[in-house]
Structure 1
Amino acid sequence: MSAPRRAAGGRGLPALPQPDVARLQPAAGPPASGALHDGLLFDGVDLTGVDAGDGRFLGCVLRSAAADGLRLAGARLVDCRLSGLEAGEAPWAGSSWQEVVLGDCRVGAWGLAGAQWTRVAVERVRVDFADLRGTTFTDVTFRGCELRDVDASAARWTRVRFEDCRTGHLEVTGARLQDVDLTDCELEAVSGVGDLRGAVVSQVQLARLAPLLAAHLGVRVAG
């Protein structure tokens, strides 16, 4: 039985329920592949190389742990919080997240291709490369994040917001965006600019994107 939740909110996302840590049961060991984990606290458990693929996490907290190579491919997370995780590689492709908060994590290669997120908040996360190809995000907020290289090719994003974020390179070729707010995200480079339809950008961003938009449309600008 999942433990009771308490709400936590943010400017860009409605209040998300979170596990009440005081009521969680300390986990006896790392999570397992294909297993059900309900109302468990993984606090400081070494998650290096752990295979928790296709597992289910209900009302769980994973925090302050080495997590390099932690496999969450195909896993389902509901009403969970992940915080303080450090991982060179995070193979989490095809995972499903609902009512999840991910915060204060450092990831080298974040493999989330094909993941489905609904009502997710990502806070103060640093990522070198984020593979978000083919992801389906609905009501997702990135807050205070540094995402150096993001491949969101063929993604389907609805009501996704970036607050106080910085992105070195954003690839959106083939993406379908609806109400995606990029106005508070510092963008250094964008590929697939023709597929930004449905995104909201600032005037400063528009000025920087103008040459790319002109090239995409085949417009020549006279000097």
Structure 2
Amino acid sequence: MVENGGGVRGGRAGAKRAAGGAKRAVAGARRPEIRLPPLVAYEDEGLEPDGDYDGLCFGGTDLADAVGPGSRFMDCELRDCALDRAELGRARFIDSVLTGVRGVGTELAGASLRDVEIVDARLGGAQLHGAVLERVVVRGGKIDYLNLRTARLTDVVFEGCVLAEPDFGEAHLTRVEFRDCVLRRADFSAARMESVDLRAVAELDIARGVDRLAGAVISPLQLMELAPAFAAQIGVRVEA
């Protein structure tokens, strides 16, 4: 009897450990560790296509309408820069910080961001479709109509920011966290998710793609709030 009882207790303990393990199964995003070297002030005007920018500080630089597709920014800081209509398709940002950047219609299609922090950005209609984001933190600020269609996001954290009508259509999200941020009218159509954590979202509003949340984790309260959308997705009518 003692052995049997011990087995039951062990089974229950194992079940508890398994349940605890399930709760911890959501892999957290790996954040960038950026240590900028002493920077040199950027004193030129505009950008060049396929330009190579290393260890530079763009402080208040007006990059509106700049043409720099394919450029590489390594160990750089872009602070309070205007990026209206800047053409930065296929640009690469590595070990860099973008603080207080602002602009409408910034073109970053196919860009690569690795070990990057974006802080207090004010952007509208930023085009990042087909981009690759790896170990990126987006903290604070407001981004309207962010286009991330077909993008690949790995180890990305959206923290304390407002994303109005972001488009994640056909994007692949792996270890992506949304913390204390606002998601309004988000589009997840045909997106793929692995270890996406939505539990700490301050406001969650999904316009399309609620059926693509497999691979995401939500809170019980969020489940209740999304219940009508889930019911509509499978054709269930809810009537009093």
For normalisation by structure 2, the TM-score amounts to 0.83
The Cα shift of 1:98 comes to: 0.5
Indicate if the aligned counterparts of 1:88 and 1:109 stay in contact, CA closer than 8 A.
Answer: yes
Give the match for residue 202 of structure 1: 219
- Say whether residues 1:32 and 2:37 are aligned partners: no
Q: Is the 8 A contact 1:59 1:78 kept in 2?
A: yes
Q: CA deviation at 1:71?
A: 1.8
Structure 1 residue 189 displacement after superposition: 3.2
Residues in 2 aligned to 1:150 and 1:85: alpha-carbon distance in whole angstroms: 18
- % same residue: 36
Q: Tell me, what secondary structure is at the counterpart of 1:90?
A: coil
* TM-superposition CA deviations, 1:67-90 (whole Å, max 9, x none): 211221100111011111110221
Contact 2:32 2:137 in 1 (8 A): no
The Cα of 1:144 is off from its aligned counterpart by 0.7
Q: Which of 155, 170, 179 is the equivalent residue of 1:163?
A: 179
CA distance in 2, matches of 1:17, 1:65: 20
Q: Does 1:47 align with 2:56?
A: no
Match of 2:13 in 1: none
In the TM superposition, residue 222 of structure 1 has moved relative to its aligned partner by 5.0
Q: Secondary structure at the match of 2:228?
A: helix
The one of 198, 204, 216 equivalent to 2:233 is: 216
Residue in 1 that maps onto 2:21 = none
| In structure 2, distance between residues paired with 1:168 and 1:190 | 8
Mean Cα deviation higher: 185-194 or 152-161: 185-194
Structure 1: stretches of 5+ with no match in the other structure: 1-10
The structure where helix makes up a greater share of residues is 2
The residue that corresponds to 1:95 in the other structure is 111
Distance in 2, matches of 1:71 and 1:15, equals: 25
Larger radius of gyration: 2
Runs of 4 or more consecutive aligned structure 1 residues displaced over 4 Å after TM superposition: none
Structure-1-length-normalised TM-score: 0.89
Please report how far the alpha carbon of residue 100 of structure 1 lies from its aligned counterpart in structure 2 after TM superposition. 0.5
Q: RMSD value over aligned CA atoms?
A: 1.5
Higher strand share: 1
Residue 113 of structure 2 corresponds to residue 68 of structure 1: no
The residue type paired with residue 189 of structure 1 is: I
How many residue pairs are counted as aligned between the two chains? 211
Separation in 1 of the partners of 2:133 and 2:56? 21
Q: Distance in 1 between matches of 2:127 and 2:209?
A: 20
Alignment partner for residue 150 of structure 1, among 163, 166, 178?
166
1:182 Cα deviation (Å)? 1.0
- For residues 121 and 18 of structure 1, the distance between their equivalents in structure 2, rounded to whole angstroms, comes to 15
Match of 1:6 in 2: none
